[in-house]
Structure 1
Amino acid sequence: MPPTFRRPPRFAVSCALAALAVLAVPAVPAWADPAPSFAELLSRLDQAPATLEADALSQAAEARVRQARARPNPTIGLDAENAFGTGPFSGFGNAETTLSVSQDLELFGRRTARIDAARAEAGTAVLQRDLAVVDAAGRLALVYAEAEAGERRAALAEEALTLTVADARAALALVEEGREPLLRGIQGESEAAAARANRDEAVAERDAAFARLTAVAMLPVPVTTIDASLLDQAPAAALVSSDVSLAVRVAEAQRIAAEQRIAVERVRARPDINASVGIRRYEAEDATALTFGVSMPLPLFDRNRGNIDAAQAEFRAAEARVTGARQEAQADRAAALARLGASLSRVGAADGGVASAEEAYRLSRIGFEAGRISQLEMRVARAALVSARTTAVDARLARVRAEIDLARQDGRAPFQGAQ
């Protein structure tokens, strides 16, 4: 015959039930403002600090193009000779005064090379701005998804606490009836306390994730809920071509800019010719005459070889970066596609696991209350249910991360069409 259990004191059971009632008190959220949808936040991305910084750098590059088009200013000079000396030059009567204007001619394609280099730098800045916008969109999507995942994990922890408290109460009821030893009730109370601690930790992580979302999205007030789900949103269709990687395009633009800098340094090695014209006044003869001339430096000591070699070395480095960027883009795109496909399968499997775990827990709860299965079996079923639901959240978060990686390779915002 199965062993019988002596009914525990009613006072002990009452104290345990009171403790469970305290543990089951739900956590009260500190904030009460829902977050805007991801699409709405994405439309405000032009006000993000990273986007504003990239726009400012692009505008600075365009301003340098305008400055490169400007010709050098002429130089005006006034010279006086043979004045205020001794003898016949004691006064200003025999002075010779010259008023001249000189101008840098910018020969040998100096101005064209300067403009082309500035345009190449501006093109690089534009692509870097586009890449910064894509990166900012990816960061926003990740923070949004992590906040939603934190909210779901907190809800799951709250539900797990509710289930654990309910199971503990059912165990205490059996203890009071003498069908289970008091140890089962103590174990249930301990599990409820652990579930309460897990709930509190999940709530803290949720609040931290909401705080990060508030900061990244630059929302005026903190948020506490997410109404428009991003975890459940299907990823956008991937582009067929992999040549649109902004990282590769930025590297190629940097290589072009480096090549233009070589041309600039080569032009600087050529003589900088300066022409001048002026009027000279002869005080003694009360006469005037024109003056004109051409000047240029003699390239005896400085032929700009150091700067030319440096520009060529920078061009070789830029070529190496292009090669590396292309290889990385191909590998990253293949990896992103593989992770996205795996995450899609994982989400489907996780949803099926949740359905099975829910049914298993329901049946185990019925069997436990009927006395056909042990409390340990019910605890295992409950733990499996909590794990399955958590796995479903993690699978959706992994899908979002894979979509973010693939969107960066496609040069678009996550969950959006190609830009």
Structure 2
Amino acid sequence: MKRCLSIALLLATGCASGPPAIDAPVAESINTKPASNAANVSLAGYDESAEELAQPPAMLEPVAAAAVELTTRDVLTAESLETRALENNPAVSQATARVQALRGKWVQVGLPPNPTVGYVAGEIGNEGGTGQQGGFVGQQFITGKKLSRSRAVVSAEITRAEQELAAVQRRVQTDVRRSYYDALLAQRRVSLADELVRVTSEAVTASKALVEAKEVPLAGLLQTEVQQQDATLLLQTAQNRLAQAWRNLAAVVGEPGLTIRPLSGDVDKLPAMLGWEKQLARLQSQSPEVAAAMAEVERARRALSRARVEAVPNINTQVSVQYDDATEDTIAGVQVGVPLPIWNRNQGGIRQAKAEICEALRNADRVELDLHRRLADAFRQYSDAHATAQAYADGILPRSAQTLELVRSAFDQGELGYLELLTAQRTYSQTNLSYLDALSVLWSSYVQIDGLLLEGSLSEPLRR
């Protein structure tokens, strides 16, 4: 009977087996392509001598992960989920609509004012006659190339909006991958807990038989029952975690009704250790946040150029043709007028534009420092989790398995007692749970760094 109990307890090794042999580390370079070189701010060309300014072409194509054929109808991959998220996530559509709205604004701000037409009459009733009756046509001519300069400002706004769109796409990708790994690890945790419930139930059955045969005390049975209850509670919490992870995944994919399905992926294949300097340089050169901040600096500079010509007088013209009833002559009139910039030379607007340039420059500095700080936090979490997961995979899990095997062998030979075997089995199970926790932190921080620290696509409001 004692040997039967030891075999039942050893079945726990099936649920707590160490990770498979780790392949060669994945390359440090991130596989996910950046959003069309988002950080290389390609601002629309602006020539103050040009009469017209062409609307900038779309610089960012939608970042969509390549569609991947599913091996089965039910299994989902990270790439297929990314594709669906980029199509369904409302944050992407919202940012795209913002770019389209600004392109409409670009068209509008460059349009000249419409001409005016009207009726004009004078000397009505003079000597009982109808006086002078006729019509006029008026037109305001915009000077100082204000229209092209206004379009230059909006061009920079379009560039900034496109970088914000790239940031939203990155946020969606990060959210999908993080939720994907959370769900994948939650599935592993449920499998582990389910196996623990099975093993501890068999141990309880074997313990009852040993108690009836008076080979072990009642305390031994009570301990196995406690372990069974712990395993049942672990299974319940693991199932709750899986439900939460899947609901989060369904939300960021934009399909709240997405049902739980198996996910393909290998969380045991650890990524290579990332280098701080390389990741910092990558973040500074590719981050859409930096690109958007620099686009705002350019917008502010163009706004100053526009403000400086605001006081240049526009020319108002009017041509009229009238019929003089008294003399029976047709007469014409011409009016040309300009406002005199005596009191208002847009002094306040120029000062405001200069201050906005200073604000934009300081904001660009703030963004870079904030990225540096956020990367430091994420990089520390990644480094700690990578070291922990590597230690578990290379040493702790194999040694824990070996320890359990040795304790079982000693128990079979009567060298160790029943409580020592229970302790070894419980330690082995807890070691596997700790390994899953380390993997969770590892992949979460890796995905965050991979995604240029952009996350929270559904909680980040779009700036107006």
**Pairwise TM-score range, normalised by the shorter structure:** 0.7 to 0.9
Task: Report what 2:190 is aligned to.
Answer: 154
Task: Report what 2:9 is aligned to.
Answer: none
Superposed CA offset, 1:172-204 (max 9, x none)? 333222122112212321221222122112111
Superposed CA offset, 1:114-156 (max 9, x none)? 1100101111111110111001110111111111121111222
Q: Which moved more, 1:382-391 or 1:138-147?
A: 382-391
Normalized against structure 1, the TM-score is what?
A: 0.81
Cα distance change, pair 333–81 in 1 and its aligned pair in 2 (3 A): same
Q: Which moved more, 1:268-277 or 1:300-309?
A: 300-309
Do residues 307 (structure 1) and 349 (structure 2) align? Answer: yes
Q: 2:437 aligns with which of 349, 371, 394?
A: 394
Q: Is the 8 A contact 1:170 1:369 kept in 2?
A: no
Q: 1:42 aligns with which of 82, 85, 98?
A: 82
How many percent identity over aligned positions? 23
Do residues 137 (structure 1) and 139 (structure 2) align? Answer: no
The structure, 1 or 2, with the larger RCO (C-alpha pairs under 8 Å, 6+ apart) is 2
1:342 is displaced (CA, Å) by 4.3
Q: 1:174 aligns with which of 210, 213, 217?
A: 210
Task: Report what 1:378 is aligned to.
Answer: 421
Superposed CA offset, 1:377-411 (max 9, x none)? 22332232222222222222223222222223399
Output the CA distance in 2 between the equivalents of 1:293 and 1:279. 12
Do residues 68 (structure 1) and 109 (structure 2) align? Answer: yes
1:371 is displaced (CA, Å) by 4.1
Q: Is the 8 A contact 1:38 1:230 kept in 2?
A: no
Output the CA distance in 1 between the equivalents of 2:81 and 2:287. 24
Cα distance change, pair 204–360 in 1 and its aligned pair in 2 (3 A): same
Output the CA distance in 1 between the equivalents of 2:264 and 2:166. 27
1:328 is displaced (CA, Å) by 2.7
Superposed CA offset, 1:254-291 (max 9, x none)? 11112222222332233333222222322222222322
Matches within 5 A, 1:228-377: 228-229=264-265, 231-232=267-268, 235=271, 241=282, 242-333=284-375, 336-337=378-379, 339-352=381-394, 353-368=396-411, 370-377=413-420
Q: Is the 8 A contact 1:151 1:225 kept in 2?
A: no
Output the CA distance in 1 between the equivalents of 2:392 and 2:338. 78
Report the secondary structure of 1:77's partner residue.
strand
Task: Report what 2:118 is aligned to.
Answer: 77
**1:66 counterpart letter in structure 2:** V
Task: Report what 2:31 is aligned to.
Answer: none
Output the CA distance in 1 between the equivalents of 2:113 and 2:338. 16
- Report which of the two has the higher share of helix: 1
1:67 is displaced (CA, Å) by 1.8
**1:143 counterpart letter in structure 2:** S
Output the CA distance in 1 between the equivalents of 2:347 and 2:225. 81
Do residues 409 (structure 1) and 452 (structure 2) align? Answer: yes
Output the CA distance in 1 between the equivalents of 2:75 and 2:366. 40
Task: Report what 1:114 is aligned to.
Answer: 150
Output the CA distance in 1 between the equivalents of 2:237 and 2:378. 32
| Structure 1 portions without partners, runs of 5+ | 1-32, 413-419
Aligned residue pairs, count: 375
Q: 1:225 aligns with which of 242, 246, 261?
A: 261
Pairwise CA RMSD: 2.7
* 4+ residue runs over 6 A deviation: 236-240
**1:120 counterpart letter in structure 2:** A
